[in-house]
Structures are given as structure tokens and as C-alpha cells.
Amino acid sequence: MRCLPALLALLVSAPALAQDAPRARAASAKEGVVREIERGFYLKANAGSTIFLMNRGAILRPGTTLDLTLGGDFLDKEKVSASFDFTFGQAIHNGMPFDRQGELGYGPNQLIEGDIHTFALLVGVEASAYPVRRLGIGGHIGGGVTFVPLLMNRQYYDEEVVGLSQGDGAWGGVRPGVHQGVRPTIYAGPTIEYYTKLSHFSFGLDVDVIFPIGLDLGLKATGFLKYTF
């Protein structure tokens, strides 16, 4: 008689368990497999330095560089991925005083106002391979425009620096084109990225050869922190 209540309870619960099993399987299929690496749309912040290598290498010191990138992965495989991105970048460089440049006889393809602040809008693509699960090694390439605004007073620049009116400025009437319009820009370089065990976060290093045409050939090295949504 003591076994009778337990037997009745088992008979009652068996149909309920049979109904719950398909629901559990459906919920598991809907949730899918938990991924160790997130890919999709991302926000990426870079910080580092840019150094100029050619005409203006002696005039401009290595500068602080900051980039903010919005992008998205369009290829997502276990061993390879690819993405597109849009970058807004800026850099600040300390430069040789403009009058000193004139005294040393630098040509018009080198002259610059002194310290400069550059702004860039870039579009690019990136592809990486994964030799191990969390480590990506690849490269990126892209282009856009760079703007080098004039930081000093325009009238003072025209009269005292360039000397457009009488040709008696520090540069003898020569006006370099670097502060006029935008500079078409191309870049390419390797990238390395490590995906942390903190979900959605990764960090890495970008090294780019960058060429704002009419400014100079540069080398940009930046570390980055990336969040993938």
C-alpha cells in the first residue's frame, strides 16, 4: 500500500515529461551554439603614432594619432574572416617653425606652417586568417581623403609667412599646396587581433603605410580596442 501513492505520481508525471522533451529540444535549437568569438558590426578605437618618411620627415616630428572606426564583417568562417570599415582619423605633429624652414632653404614641396593637425576620412577592407582559435593575422587596404587645415591667422600667413603681396615673407612668395583642399590618401598594412574571453571585446595592432598625396609618405602604428555588437 505504501508504494501505491508513488506509483500514481509516476503515472501522472510521465505524460508531462513526454510533452516537455520536444519543447526543450526546440529551445535548444533556437538558442544555437554558444560562440567564443563574436563577429558582426563593430566599433574600433585606435591610438598610436604616425611618422613621415620623405620630404617632410625632417620638418615634422612623429605625431599622436587617433582613429575611430565603424565596420562590419561580411565573411565569417572558422579559419578566415573579412570586413569593411569607415574611419575618421586625426593626428597632431610638432613641426619646424616656418621662418626656420625658409632660412634652411627648403623647397615648396616641403614647406609647412609649422605644427599641423590632420583629419582623414577613410574607407577600407580587412581580411584575416586564424592559425589558432582566438588569434587573427591579416591585412587591410583602403583609401580616402586627408585635410590639413591652416591653424594660424590666414592674413598673417599670406603676408608674413608666404609674402604674397610683396614677396617679402619668410617663404619669398611661395605658397605650398598642402594647406589647400584635400589630399587623396591610400593606405595598406598588416593587422593582428586577439579575441579575449571577455565576450565581444578584442584588441590588437595595426601597422599602415599611408600616403596622403601632396603631404608625405608615412608609417602609422596604432594599437586598438574593438567591441563587436
* Domain CATH code at residue 119: 2.40.160.20
Contact status, residue 113 vs residue 85, Cβ threshold 8 Å: no
At 67 the three-state DSSP class reads strand
Backbone angles phi, psi at 167, to 5 degrees: 75, 20
- 213, β-bridge pairs: none
Q: Are residues 55 and 137 in the same domain?
A: yes
At 104 the three-state DSSP class reads coil
Q: Are residues 104 and 190 in the same domain?
A: yes
Q: Are residues 70 and 168 in the same domain?
A: yes
Cell numbers 590588437: residue: 204
125-175: pLDDT as tens digits:
999 999 998 999 999 999 999 999 999 999 999 988 998 877 688 898 888
Distances (CA, A) of 224 to 7, 68, 87: 64, 10, 13
Q: Are residues 168 and 195 in the same domain?
A: yes
Q: Are residues 5 and 45 in the same domain?
A: no
Number of folded domains that form the chain: 2
The pLDDT of residue 223 is above 90: yes
Looking at this protein, which amino acid is placed at residue 192?
A: I
Q: Are residues 21 and 52 in the same domain?
A: no
70-105: pLDDT as tens digits:
999 999 998 999 999 999 999 999 999 999 998 888
Neighbours of 63 (CB within 10 A): 22
- Share above pLDDT 70 across residues of the chain, in percent, rounded to a whole number: 84
Identify the pLDDT of residue 117.
97
Identify the pLDDT of residue 8.
42
**Pick from 44-48, 169-173, 209-213: least confident:** 169-173
Please enumerate in sequence order all residues whose Cβ is within 8 A of that of 222, keeping only pairs 6 or more positions apart, or say none: 46, 47, 48, 49, 65, 67, 205, 206
Cell numbers 562590419: residue: 72
Q: Are residues 103 and 185 in the same domain?
A: yes
pTM summary value: 0.81
Identify the pLDDT of residue 151.
94
The pLDDT of residue 12 is above 80: no
Question: Domain span at residue 210?
Answer: 41-228
Q: Are residues 18 and 73 in the same domain?
A: no
Q: Are residues 120 and 91 in the same domain?
A: yes
pLDDT mean across residues, the chain = 87
Mean pLDDT value across residues 19-27:
47
Q: Are residues 116 and 222 in the same domain?
A: yes
Identify the pLDDT of residue 10.
44
- Give the residue with greater pLDDT, 116 vs 2: 116
Contact status, residue 71 vs residue 86, Cβ threshold 8 Å: yes
Q: Are residues 16 and 69 in the same domain?
A: no
Neighbours of 32 (CB within 10 A): 7
Q: Are residues 141 and 224 in the same domain?
A: yes
Looking at this protein, which amino acid is placed at residue 204?
A: G
